[in-house]
Amino acid sequence: MASSADRHDNRPDPDALLAAARQDGRGRLTIFLGAAPGVGKTYAMLTRARKLKADGIDIVVGLAETHGRGETAQLLDGLEVLPRARLEHRGRSVEGFDLDGALARRPRLMIVDELASSNPDGARHPKRYQDIEELLEAGIDVWTALNVQHLESLSDVVADITGVKVRERIPDTVLRKADQVILVDLPPAELIERLKDGRIYLADTIQRAYERYFRLGNLTALRELALRRTADRVDDDMVDYLKRHAIEGPWASAERLIVCVGPDALSEKVVRTASRLASGLNAPWIVVSLERAEREVDDAAQARVDSWLRLAESLGAETRRIIASDFVTELIRLARREHATQIVLGAHPRPRWASWLGTSLADEVAASASGLGVHLVTGEGAEPVPRPRRMSIGLAERARAGAVAFASVLAATLIGTGIDRVIPVPNVSLLFLMAVMVAAIRAGYGAALLAALLSGLAYNFFFIEPLYTFTIAAPHEVFAFIVFLLAALVAGGLASRVREQARTARARAVAVQSLYDFAGKLSGTAKPDDVLWVAVAQLHTSFGHPAVALMPREGELSLAAAWPPDAELGVADMTAARWAFEHGEPAGQDTGTLPSSPYQFRPLISPHGALGVYGLRWGGDPIDGVSERMLLAVMDQTAIAIDRARLAEEAIAQGARLQGENLRAALLSSISHDLRTPLSTITGAVTSLRQLGDRMSAASRDDLLLTIEEESARLSRFVANLLDMTRIEAGTLDARSDWIDVGDAIRASQERCARYFPRLGIVTRIDPGLPLLRGDGVLLGQVLFNLLDNAAKYGGGQPVELYARVEGRDLVITVTDAGPGIPPEDLGAVFEKFFRRGNPDGRPPGTGLGLSIAKGFVEAMGGTITAESPAQPNRGASPGTRMVLRFPVPEGGSIAS
Amino acid sequence: MNGNRILVVDDEPQIQRFLRPALSAAGYDVFEAATGAEALKAAATTAPDLILLDLGLPDMDGKEVIARLRGWSHVPIIILSARDREAEKIAALDLGADDYVEKPFGIGELTARIRTALRHKKGVEVEAERYAVDGLDIDMVRRLVTRGGEPVKLTPKEYDLLTLLARHAGRVVTHRTLLTSVWGPAHGEDLHYLRVFIGQLRQKIERDPANPAIIRTEPGVGYRFAEAA
């Protein structure tokens, strides 16, 4: 057997080690447990605190209730006490524990008295134990005090003993998870003595408190409870110790409980009893809710079952749901799978005759649970939960049902009498049966009942001898009448149930359809923000309440979408939202955290972590089961959709990055090629001349020298271009502002061009009386040279036309070649850096910088440059390209004026 | 005039313009091709003794030219390439190119590489049995390595590595070739083996292991064994 093998290994139980390790980083909780107020918990706590303080431990009193007791108050002297926070809530100002102050102060150990207290309205958490949980989470050790009557699992026992219903209760898990429990004990007689001396509570409340609570019997019982609880704890600690240190021994009993609950009221008692049983046996327990698969569960019942399960969880149980036709079998199967030893269930006392009708659940379980202990919890005066009325409907609805019933019966009566006049019908009752069913289907069970009654009366009155009386003459008619009534009731019931089911099915179909539509809309959205907008709109339509969604932006949670779109969140709402996001748990209305916010916030969690927070402004009622499921479905889908949208965005960004990288790589390789080719040529030619020159002909040597000259010029041009480009890019291009004569600039660039491209023909036409331009003559000359250079490369060897003239208020210079032109799709790109159009032979002749430099220079001088192609559309294969420079004529630039 | 025929494949007219007179002056017959297609055609029709190949051709990747040529020819191929194109160089060498010269290059360097490649072509089948370089003597027949007359103790792997490099003296041998030949096909990527063993070898055979003269590193590509002067 695996388990015994493990034991013989003498290895520590990994779970126990894990639990011990998990404590690291988290604060340790010490609970001072007492049987009743006044046993001296606060006193004990503070005395110890003083001792630790003297040892130099950083200890702060977060909150201590002295109840006006002098000796306790004295103990606070010399201890650091955290100032209480003032909370403004609905105009009132109340004092309370300052959780944020405590977290900010971050002492090694903090004392927070009265574990079971409730916080004032407006605090972050309604209960103090939730505050303490947050302190522990933050790594602060906490000491606190607790009276045993506040434990949830004991609340009914305490009520039985003392007759006082304790309102402030805490889940047993808090005590169970405490790292240390210290019992503060005082014999009851002594406690009563102290009470009489006035050392407990304030004087004027002594009498009342004494009578209601401090009776010897009560106190003794409570003391026993406290002692037993502490003993349980000690036992647990012992088992933990044994497990951690791999000591063989009688570990926790192998008991495991399965506890069944249903929607009935007895189930609450079953849960509490099972909890005590489990803690007494030191056994894990699983609470199972049972539902028949084929039966519809109404929402009220579902809510009750949910509340029992929540109670069980707060008492430390695991919970399951079984939905099956034969749940006895399922239950037994679960018990075997979980190695349960006992089954706990509730048994309503049944009258003896009931056993004739069939066996009870308890009997069935007992019959099949061989080898298992069956523990029955009986209810006293078992009050079954009042059946929710089928027709909990409004007055208008009720009136409508009545009208429908009345109308259908009237119709049946009229038709019946009408037919009866023509041909006597023996089975007129069938008509009334139909009327009942019509009423049932149209208006439900109530209407069916009413219709059945009315039909009975009408049938008797109009059709049964003696006519027009409510009496029946013939005995067989009496029998027929009774059968009719029964049939009408049964048929009405069935028909109304069909109606109910149809209605539920319709509601479900609507919900499913709406989810389906939602999924459809989500799949059409590509951006996370759009997803959120779709989602809040969906929440608003589904529930009719305002919905918001928040996402983290630059480290701060902020409103990302809201429906209605003008929704605003207050400070309290934002705090709740942040809390929900950071802790991954619901906050706000109906939750344990900041319930004063009208919104309930829920974290939106995807497999990749928390994405954001949803908020729903749920008016009044708690969220019911159906809405809850709908909400969960919407949230799941949203989380998935956002995840998907994020991934898509990332993929696009990745693609763009990759494209950018490719472009940069291409640019780099093109620049290095442009620099390297002339360098290679020069190096190769020079070394050839030096090493092999004497073996070459004079012509070869000359040609090599010419190559060197040409390549040097090419290199120098390219470097100059690169430098120009760098200046343009860096924004350090400093265009001088002089008067320039365009004609001079054109002639200069023409001469320069003739040196580089001696074979290029240039036709110039400069209109006489051109105005002067303001600008930089050197830059303009470079622009024109670059355009001519370009025309020489792409102009197909044809002459280039260079014209300058005035058009309106602009001076226009055009450079037109007769080359193959530029395809329209490339026209916009020719001014881009490193854009090069390949030559027909596949060699890119230029550097791809000339035109972009020209553009930079022209723009620096306040002009524009555009490319037009074809320049001469009727020239067939060589339509050419026209570069158009346009400069505004400056004030005083015109010679004519 | 040695009359060896060299096919120069480069799409830059300037490069052709200086290579032609220079290589002619060095005694070679020069043929030219500007594209991959021309190169393949010229290689088939002129039967060159060596091909100088620029990898950046307008019509096809230079590597593809090598792959196609190697389908039917063992003609030595020397790549003209840029320093920053290691991956391309290595791929070309692995495809069967014999050596490479980085642009810009001096004509002396180019002609030295051409001579080495041509010499190896002639001696493809005739393997030397002795290598002597810089005081180091490798006797393949007796599996004896001496340094200034003193025997050098080598592990079998070190010996394999050394002889593999020596057989390709003057030519680059890529990392992958060394790794797969000495350690086996599965170790083609285990560059650290090579670094360690080359380091050990240099300690044993070089005069100044810090400035190796016999086994020179071709950064990013492989190693080159010095040619006997």
DSSP symbols for B126-152 = ---SEEEETTEEEETTTTEEEETTEE-
Across A242-256, A559-573, A618-632, A878-892, least confident range: A242-256
Give all strands (DSSP E) within B42-129, no chain letters.
Answer: 50-54, 77-82, 99-103
Closest CA to B11 of B60, B68, B83, B78: B60
Share the mean pLDDT of chain B. Answer: 86
- In angstroms, the separation between the Cα of residue B56 and the nearest Cα of chain A is 10
Size of interface A-B (CB pairs under 8 A): 83
Output the pLDDT for position A886: 92
* Partner-chain contact A711 B14, CB within 8 Å: yes
Burial class (CB in 10 A: 0-12, 13-18, 19+), A423: exposed
Q: Using CB atoms, which residue from B17, B58, B104 is nearest to A843?
A: B58
Share the mean pLDDT of chain A. Answer: 79
Burial class (CB in 10 A: 0-12, 13-18, 19+), A812: middle
Taking only the tens place, the pLDDT of each residue in A751-760 is 888 877 778 8
- In angstroms, the separation between the Cα of residue A240 and the nearest Cα of chain B is 52
> What three-state secondary structure class fits A498?
helix
* Partner-chain contact A842 B11, CB within 8 Å: yes
Taking only the tens place, the pLDDT of each residue in A388-407 is 444 445 677 788 888 888 89
Q: Using CB atoms, which residue from A687, A703, A707 is nearest to B107?
A: A687
Any residues with CB less than 8 A from the CB of A811 and at least 6 apart, and which? A742, A770, A771, A773, A804, A805, A886, A887, A888, A889
Q: Using CB atoms, which residue from A681, A703, A843 is nearest to B21?
A: A703
The mean per-residue pLDDT over the stretch A491-506 comes to: 80
Across A500-504, A550-554, A838-842, A860-864, least confident range: A838-842
Any residues with CB less than 8 A from the CB of A59 and at least 6 apart, and which? A49, A52, A53, A79, A80, A107, A108, A109, A110, A111
* Partner-chain contact A683 B106, CB within 8 Å: yes
Query: A interface mutation test: which of B14, B61, B79 has the most A CBs within 10 A?
Result: B14
- Residues of chain B positioned with their CB less than 8 A from the CB of A681: 12, 14-15, 17-18, 104
In chain A, whose CA is at the least distance from the CA of B102? Answer: A680
What single letter denotes the amino acid at residue A752? R
Per the DSSP assignment, residues forming a β-bridge with B101 are: B80
Output the pLDDT for position A252: 44
Strands A257-261 vs A342-347: parallel, antiparallel or unpaired: parallel
Taking only the tens place, the pLDDT of each residue in A583-604 is 888 888 877 777 778 888 888 8
pLDDT of A853 > 60? The answer is yes
CB A854 within 8 A of CB A787: yes
A356 band by pLDDT with thresholds 50, 70 and 90? low
Taking only the tens place, the pLDDT of each residue in A612-645 is 888 888 776 666 666 777 788 888 888 888 888 8
Taking only the tens place, the pLDDT of each residue in A174-195 is 888 888 888 888 888 888 887 7
- Residues of chain B positioned with their CB less than 8 A from the CB of A707: 14, 17-18
Closest CA to B115 of B173, B49, B60, B174: B49
Taking only the tens place, the pLDDT of each residue in A806-852 is 888 889 999 998 888 888 877 777 887 767 665 544 444 566 778 88
The mean per-residue pLDDT over the stretch A37-66 comes to: 84
Measured from the Cβ of residue A599, the count of other Cβ atoms closer than 10 Å reads 28
CB A110 within 8 A of CB A80: no
Any residues with CB less than 8 A from the CB of A352 and at least 6 apart, and which? none
* Partner-chain contact A684 B108, CB within 8 Å: no
- CA distance to A391, A406, A446, A772, per residue, from A439 (Å): 15, 9, 9, 99
**∠ Cα B2 B7 B95 (to 5°):** 115
- In angstroms, the separation between the Cα of residue A760 and the nearest Cα of chain B is 20
- In angstroms, the separation between the Cα of residue B80 and the nearest Cα of chain A is 10
pLDDT of A140 > 70? The answer is yes
The backbone torsions φ and ψ at residue A143, rounded to the nearest 5 degrees and listed phi first, read -110, 135
- CA distance to A27, A82, A143, A575, per residue, from A56 (Å): 18, 18, 17, 36
- Residues of chain B positioned with their CB less than 8 A from the CB of A683: 104-106
- In angstroms, the separation between the Cα of residue B221 and the nearest Cα of chain A is 20
The backbone torsions φ and ψ at residue A795, rounded to the nearest 5 degrees and listed phi first, read -85, 5
pLDDT of A265 > 90? The answer is no
* Partner-chain contact B18 A707, CB within 8 Å: yes
The secondary structure of B182-201 as a DSSP string is HT-GGGTT-HHHHHHHHHHH
* Partner-chain contact B103 A679, CB within 8 Å: yes
pLDDT of A350 > 80? The answer is no
A4 band by pLDDT with thresholds 50, 70 and 90? very low
* Partner-chain contact A681 B18, CB within 8 Å: yes
Per the DSSP assignment, residues forming a β-bridge with A80 are: A60
Give the separation between CA A297 and CA A137, rounded to whole angstroms: 39
Supply the CATH classification number for the domain B130-225: 1.10.10.10
Helix (H) or strand (E) holding A692: helix A625-692
CB B60 within 8 A of CB B89: no
The mean per-residue pLDDT over the stretch A601-609 comes to: 82
Across A65-69, A241-245, A265-269, A770-774, least confident range: A241-245
What single letter denotes the amino acid at residue A497? R
Give the separation between CA A869 and CA A823, rounded to whole angstroms: 7
The mean per-residue pLDDT over the stretch A278-301 comes to: 76
- In angstroms, the separation between the Cα of residue B154 and the nearest Cα of chain A is 42
**∠ Cα A339 A343 A347 (to 5°):** 170
* Partner-chain contact A696 B21, CB within 8 Å: yes
More confident of the two residues A510 and A267: A267
The two structure tokens encoding residue B151: 């025997």
- In angstroms, the separation between the Cα of residue B68 and the nearest Cα of chain A is 22
pLDDT of A385 > 50? The answer is no
Q: Using CB atoms, which residue from A680, A696, A843 is nearest to B25?
A: A696
* Partner-chain contact B21 A679, CB within 8 Å: no
The mean per-residue pLDDT over the stretch A691-710 comes to: 89
Enumerate long-range contacts of B40-43, CB under 8 Å, 24 or more apart.
B40/B65, B40/B68, B40/B69, B42/B7, B42/B9, B43/B7, B43/B69, B43/B73, B43/B75
Output the pLDDT for position A752: 81
- Residues of chain A positioned with their CB less than 8 A from the CB of B52: none
> Can you give the C-alpha Rg of chain A in angstroms?
46
Output the pLDDT for position B119: 83
The secondary structure of A112-133 as a DSSP string is E--TTPBPPTTSSSSBHHHHHH
Output the pLDDT for position B66: 92
Q: What is the SS3 string spanning A129-141?
A: HHHHHHHHHCCCE
- In angstroms, the separation between the Cα of residue A848 and the nearest Cα of chain B is 17
The mean per-residue pLDDT over the stretch A42-55 comes to: 86
Measured from the Cβ of residue A865, the count of other Cβ atoms closer than 10 Å reads 20
The two structure tokens encoding residue B150: 């003193």
pLDDT of A251 > 50? The answer is no
The two structure tokens encoding residue A355: 């056993």
* Partner-chain contact B59 A684, CB within 8 Å: no
What architecture is domain B5-121? 3-Layer(aba) Sandwich (3.40)
- Overall size of chain B counted in residues: 229
Output the pLDDT for position A382: 45
pLDDT of A223 > 70? The answer is yes
Measured from the Cβ of residue A411, the count of other Cβ atoms closer than 10 Å reads 14
The backbone torsions φ and ψ at residue A10, rounded to the nearest 5 degrees and listed phi first, read 60, 35
- Residues of chain B positioned with their CB less than 8 A from the CB of A679: 103-104
Taking only the tens place, the pLDDT of each residue in A715-727 is 887 888 788 877 7
* Partner-chain contact B106 A711, CB within 8 Å: no
Give the residue ranges of chain B where pLDDT is below 50: 1, 125
* Partner-chain contact B84 A677, CB within 8 Å: no
CB A258 within 8 A of CB A289: no
* Partner-chain contact A680 B15, CB within 8 Å: yes
- Overall size of chain A counted in residues: 897
Output the pLDDT for position B9: 93
Closest CA to B227 of B116, B129, B102, B121: B116
- In angstroms, the separation between the Cα of residue B14 and the nearest Cα of chain A is 6
Any residues with CB less than 8 A from the CB of B210 and at least 6 apart, and which? none
Q: What is the SS3 string spanning A517-550?
A: HHHHHHHCCCCHHHHHHHHHHHHHHHHCCCEEEE
Domains of chain A: 14-244 (3.40.50.300), 257-349+359-378 (3.40.50.620), 396-502 (no CATH), 733-888 (3.30.565.10)
Residue A545, CB-side half-sphere exposure with 13 Å CA sphere: 18
A293 band by pLDDT with thresholds 50, 70 and 90? low
* Partner-chain contact B15 A704, CB within 8 Å: no
Output the pLDDT for position B49: 92
Sign of the torsion angle spanned by Cα atoms B202, B204, B208, B214: negative
**∠ Cα A696 A700 A705 (to 5°):** 115
- Residues of chain B positioned with their CB less than 8 A from the CB of A672: 82, 84
Give the separation between CA A154 and CA A169, rounded to whole angstroms: 9
Q: What is residue A874's DSSP assignment?
A: G
Output the pLDDT for position A847: 64
Q: Using CB atoms, which residue from A695, A696, A842 is nearest to B58?
A: A842
- Residues of chain B positioned with their CB less than 8 A from the CB of A680: 12, 15, 103-105
In chain B, whose CA is at the least distance from the CA of A840? Answer: B58
Chain A interface, Cβ < 8 Å to B: 672-673, 676-685, 687-688, 691-693, 695-696, 700-701, 703-704, 707, 710-711, 841-843
Measured from the Cβ of residue A474, the count of other Cβ atoms closer than 10 Å reads 12
A299 band by pLDDT with thresholds 50, 70 and 90? low
A884 band by pLDDT with thresholds 50, 70 and 90? very high
Any residues with CB less than 8 A from the CB of A633 and at least 6 apart, and which? A515
Across A275-289, A394-408, A600-614, A661-675, least confident range: A661-675
The two structure tokens encoding residue B17: 């313009």
Strands lying side by side in the sheet with A599-606 = A556-563, A547-553, A609-617, A599-606, A587-588
A845 φψ region: left (φ > 0), alpha (ψ -120 to 50), beta (else): alpha
Say how far residue B165 (Cα) sits from the centre of its chain.
11
Query: A interface mutation test: which of B8, B11, B18 has the most A CBs within 10 A?
Result: B18
* Partner-chain contact B25 A692, CB within 8 Å: yes
User: What residue ranges do the domains of chain B occupy?
Assistant: 5-121, 130-225
- In angstroms, the separation between the Cα of residue A706 and the nearest Cα of chain B is 10
In chain B, whose CA is at the least distance from the CA of A711? Answer: B14
Q: Using CB atoms, which residue from B22, B25, B104 is nearest to A680?
A: B104
- In angstroms, the separation between the Cα of residue A844 and the nearest Cα of chain B is 9
Residue A23, CB-side half-sphere exposure with 13 Å CA sphere: 12
Any residues with CB less than 8 A from the CB of A125 and at least 6 apart, and which? A99, A119, A131, A134, A592, A593, A594
- Residues of chain A positioned with their CB less than 8 A from the CB of B18: 681, 684-685, 688, 704, 707
Taking only the tens place, the pLDDT of each residue in B123-142 is 554 566 788 888 888 888 88
pLDDT of A7 > 70? The answer is no
